[in-house]
Amino acid sequence: MAAIVEPAEKPAAIVPFLDPEFIARLRAALPASCLLTDAEDTVTYESDGLFHLHEKPLAVALPEDELQVAAVLRACRDFQVPIVPRGAGTGLAGGALPHRHGILMSLTKMKALLEVDVAARQARVQPGHTNLAISQKVAAHGLFYAPDPSSQLASSIGGNVAENSGGVHCLKYGLTVHNVIGLRVVTSDGDVLELGGGSLDQPGYDVISILNGSEGLLGIVTEVRIRLLPTPPAIRVLLAFFPTTQDAGNAVGAIIGAGIIPAGLEMMDTKSMEASESFMPLGLRLDAGAGLLCELDGLPEEVEELTTWVSALMEQCNGFDIREADDEAQRARLWWARKGAYPALVKIANDVYICDSTVPRRSLGRVMAKIDVLSDQHRIPVAQMFHAGDGNIHPVLYYDSTQPGQSERAEELATDILKLVIAEGGTVSGEHGVGSEKLKGMCMQFDETELEAFQAVRRAFDPHGVLNPDKAIPTLHRCAEFGSMRIRFGQDPFAHLPRF
């Protein structure tokens, strides 16, 4: 039965509506308060953190348990209705952008901390549980959850799994995929997969790793078993300033090259520091070209030794005014210089766009310098802040879409940044995902054979094609629409496909 029904003589302005029988299936599957169909209720869900993309869902499902999730998915399969899963809506790539002919499923009602196993250093949580709250709840046991995206106050664990989120501590402690040891996932057929059981290894394919970062294309997560780590006995944060971004980049290379693996290593340029300082005065050195934050943890004696070592390396790379913070309040104040930069830019600018991508550490200084040149060429300012330790850069383009030509120039600049990243041996997304915003970048980075392999995995999990369509993995025809995007080999592998 068709998912979308339209009147025979429909005026051009009328929006398609869902089949009444399909709505009846949803009403049978969900409590009345867990299905939103009125426009004033669904408008809240029309975008995620990528504010310039908007689309209203035809309905919003808010299941309270796994059985309801499965029932909704079976209904979507039977009526071929697209379904977009959503966590807290903090994503920055349009991954939770609704489908105009489909429904959106929000997992925010499933937010329980189900179990804390202190002896095994594990916990089971539902997908709607927020990231930071986990560490807060297990702190009394001397434990914490390592992945800490900047949005951790609001972002949910299900969304973290979907995007394979990182954060400040990913350098030493890994991304979400390295800290998830079990999943319960509902497929588009409504079947439940239980993967991992808390053991360090499982026979068969590593399906847990495939699902981390799959952006809701393969299934909907209903439970996550996570690894907890012991809280380090000593933590210290260093903040150093440098004359140029190249000097700061050299310091990153020197620290990592010396065999030191900090808990976190973050860089900010002058524009980022200016934004943070305008939002919350911290006494940052705005006469510097860059600031570098380095968090060290371990035994007290180890932290002391590392502090001396890292400080010396920073000074050798022209670092100055090196500041230290030991207690939690002092550390939080220094970290705000980095974590507060993006919220500050959102407050200051009319429009912002984060061009999340990753480059080899050896290329950091060169890439930052080239991004500044591209910024001048396109006449769109860029603030640079990023996870320097693993090369995950976050150039923030800020502009005013109400001014003629600025949106177009910002889009051209973002494309040129991705071309630069790929040319340096990098990748078009580091931790924010592809969603609907980076499809062009995927066509630039991967060829026909690689994209078809991705699509084959997608079809194996969702043969009906209802889970988050038109996201993350572009079709070959979509790449053809973008035109000649391939740059690695100087040719367009999609030229034989028709442009639509």
Q: Domain spanning 349-423: which CATH class is it, in words?
A: alpha beta
Distance of alpha carbon 108 from alpha carbon 129, whole angstroms: 8
* Helices marked H in 80-177: 131-138, 157-163, 170-173
What pairs with residue 392 in β-bridges?
Answer: 358, 387
Q: Supply 42's token pair.
A: 């669904």
Buried b (16+ CB within 10 A) or exposed e, 300-320: eeebeebbeebbebbeebbbe
Residues of the chain with CATH 3.30.70.2740: 349-423
Q: Quick one: CA torsion of 218, 219, 225, 227, rounded to 10 degrees? A: 30
pLDDT at 364: 87
Choose which CATH entry (3.90.1150.10, 3.30.43.10, 3.30.70.1150, 3.40.50.880) describes domain 4-106: 3.30.43.10
pLDDT at 13: 36
Distance of alpha carbon 467 from alpha carbon 291, whole angstroms: 42
DSSP string, 346-359: HHH-SEEEE--EE-
Q: At what angle do helices 364-378 and 245-257 cross, to 10 degrees?
A: 160
Dihedral sign computed on CA atoms, order 306, 308, 314, 319? positive
DSSP reduced 3-state for 248: helix
Residues in the chain: 500
* Secondary element (H or E) of residue 278: helix 270-279
Residues of the chain with CATH 3.30.43.10: 4-106
pLDDT at 483: 66
Distance of alpha carbon 88 from alpha carbon 430, whole angstroms: 20
- Burial class of residue 343, CB neighbours in 10 A (0-12, 13-18, 19+): middle
* Secondary element (H or E) of residue 305: helix 300-316
CATH code for the structural domain at 235-278+287-338: 3.30.70.3450
pLDDT at 448: 92
Non-local (6+) Cβ contacts of 240 within 8 A are: 251, 291, 292, 294, 311, 314, 319, 320, 321, 322, 323
- Count the Cβ atoms, other than its own, within 10 Å of residue 299: 11
pLDDT of the chain, 500 residues: tens digit per residue: 334 333 334 333 334 467 899 999 999 999 999 999 999 999 999 998 887 788 999 999 999 999 999 999 999 999 999 999 999 999 989 999 999 899 999 999 999 999 999 999 999 999 999 999 999 999 999 999 999 998 898 999 999 999 999 988 999 999 999 999 999 999 999 999 999 977 777 788 999 999 999 999 999 999 999 999 999 999 999 999 999 988 998 999 899 999 999 999 999 999 999 999 988 898 999 999 999 999 999 999 999 999 999 999 999 999 999 999 999 999 999 988 888 888 888 888 899 988 999 999 888 888 988 999 999 999 999 999 888 888 899 999 999 999 999 999 999 999 999 999 999 999 998 888 999 999 999 999 999 999 999 999 999 999 999 999 999 999 888 888 876 445 444 454 545 544 33
Q: What architecture is domain 113-230?
A: 2-Layer Sandwich (3.30)
Residues of the chain with CATH 3.30.465.10: 113-230
pLDDT at 271: 94
Distance of alpha carbon 431 from alpha carbon 63, whole angstroms: 27
Distance of alpha carbon 167 from alpha carbon 145, whole angstroms: 12
